[in-house]
Amino acid sequence: MRHAGRFVMLCLLPALSGSIALGQASDLVSLGASSAKPDYGKVPPVRIGSLPAAYSPGSLVFDGKTGALISGGAGNARLSSYARKNSTGNDDNFNTEDKRPNKPTIDGLDTLATFDGAFTAQAGPYAGYDFRFTMIGNDPKVGGTTVYPANIDEVSLQLLNADGSVRTTVDYAPFEKVTLESPNFEPLDYASGHDVEYADAAHRAEFYNVMKKDWHTLMIPNVVNKAAFQVPRFVYIQLQNGNLVQARSYFIGKAPDGSTFVLLLDVLFNFLFDNEVVNQINLGNFTTNGINMELFPNTYLFSLNVKNPDQPGDCCILGYHNYIYDGVFPESRWVSQYASWISPGLFGAGFEDVTALSHETSESFDDPFLNNPTPTWQFPGQPANSTACQGNLEVGDPIEVLANATATIEVKEHDFHFTYHPQNIVQYQWFEMGKTSSALNGAWSFPNPVLTKSAVPCPQ
């Protein structure tokens, strides 16, 4: 299964439980992790009715190609009337001046407020073609503030032994305060505005020369739930040849700061994530008018090692975003994302603390429904003939491969002081493949100008 969110830069990982070492690339190759460089793709939208209403952690069987659950579940998940009643897009509990309504702006959808726009490709085989997009917020030309609840579900991991007993619990609690005080939610000063959150600052920079100066897209964070995933030691995977293999579902190790990190099998994680989103919808905690977040402590995803299912395969995914939908009219959509806290010293390029959260939040802002196309672009820094390319408006992906992927931002507030590393974000103008950018200061990225020219078309 391939992922959106696309954090896969694995540079240094210390010893794993069970005498497995992940370190330099040679160690990864010896473990069957043939690729230790960024991976790219999408987790598709998930229909609620495709998920089981109940399941047994000890008897899950997944399709090795699609990641779909083959057995171990019972019945079909459904929405309670309580959740449907409260998925109305009402944000009356927020107090802001010049507030714009956070209500659906697309006919036939019950979801958060969005606005539409378009750009014209200026180079490459798609030169002259128009590319439409839908983004979170109200029209920049209209101005005002659109307020979104950031519904946070803090997920801890209860890792089980083979007999079902609890081996250890990896808790999110140590990272709660530093997450909530991070630039994702803390109003700070940027070139694009004063007292603004990070994703809003990047959003404003894209539209700085056409927006009204009071235009903002604001998230109000609220921890709506604290969950614990029970993670079995093994799951079963059906391979393409029909063989059924027992695969290790997790590995654990210690980060340099002493925190425990967890490598989790991707197909199992995706299943647990989707079911937890539905749980929170039914509890009324995740809403169609909000940005719904499941946050994890040092939890990174690996793919199945087909040759040796007792060893981790390619690693590591640190976050992704998608949406859950119900498939009825009007269709309800819950914009959702997974992001891991990242302890220092595990990854290179400054990937630590809230790098994943900043990446996924900005991508949710600029491509909430995973359907904003662009000309097919080549990843920066690749050889001229490289076909490492994408064709979507995912504003975190192009920069994550760079050595200077992250920015350094200090938050000082009373007795709190922490230095964060959110990811630099691409401006949508980069995808136009033009000679100049209409973004703030003519830049291609924010807040640091790590990109010096627009996207290069993918070699044909």
Per the CB < 8 A criterion, the answer to whether 459 and 378 are in contact is: yes
| pLDDT reported for residue 437 | 98
Instruction: Give every residue of the chain whose pLDDT is below 70, as ranges.
Output: 1-42, 81-97
The two beta strands, 331-341 and 373-378, are unpaired
| pLDDT reported for residue 40 | 29
Helix (H, G, I), strand (E, B) or coil at 428: helix
45-130-391-383 Cα dihedral, nearest 10 degrees: -170
The C-alpha atoms of residue 451 and residue 414 are separated, in whole angstroms, by 35
| pLDDT reported for residue 350 | 87
User: Residue 242: CB partners within 8 Å, gap ≥ 6?
Assistant: none
The H or E element spanning position 360 is helix 355-366
The C-alpha atoms of residue 250 and residue 256 are separated, in whole angstroms, by 20
| pLDDT reported for residue 216 | 97
What is the distance of C-alpha 390 from the center of its chain?
17
| pLDDT reported for residue 320 | 95
Token pair listed for 295: 């946050």
CA distances from 373 to 320, 431, 443, 452 (A): 18, 10, 21, 22
What is the distance of C-alpha 291 from the center of its chain?
11
| pLDDT tens digits for range 153-200 | 999 999 999 999 999 999 999 999 999 999 999 999 999 999 999 999
- Terminal CA-to-CA distance of the chain, rounded, Å? 26
Token pair listed for 202: 């990047």
Instruction: Point out which residues pair with 225 in neighbouring strands.
Output: 153
The two beta strands, 373-378 and 456-457, are antiparallel
The two beta strands, 416-420 and 409-413, are antiparallel
Per the CB < 8 A criterion, the answer to whether 425 and 439 are in contact is: no
Token pair listed for 403: 């050595």
Q: Tell me how crowded residue 74 is: count the other CB atoms within 10 A of its CB.
A: 10
Token pair listed for 103: 């209500």
| pLDDT reported for residue 460 | 77
The C-alpha atoms of residue 427 and residue 407 are separated, in whole angstroms, by 15
Per the CB < 8 A criterion, the answer to whether 304 and 288 are in contact is: no
Specify the length of the chain in residues.
460
| pLDDT reported for residue 42 | 55
Q: Which residue, among 334, 388, 391, 411, has the nearest Cα to 79 in the 3D structure?
A: 334
| pLDDT tens digits for range 439-458 | 999 999 999 999 999 999 99
**Considering just the CA atoms, what is the radius of gyration of the chain in Å?**
21
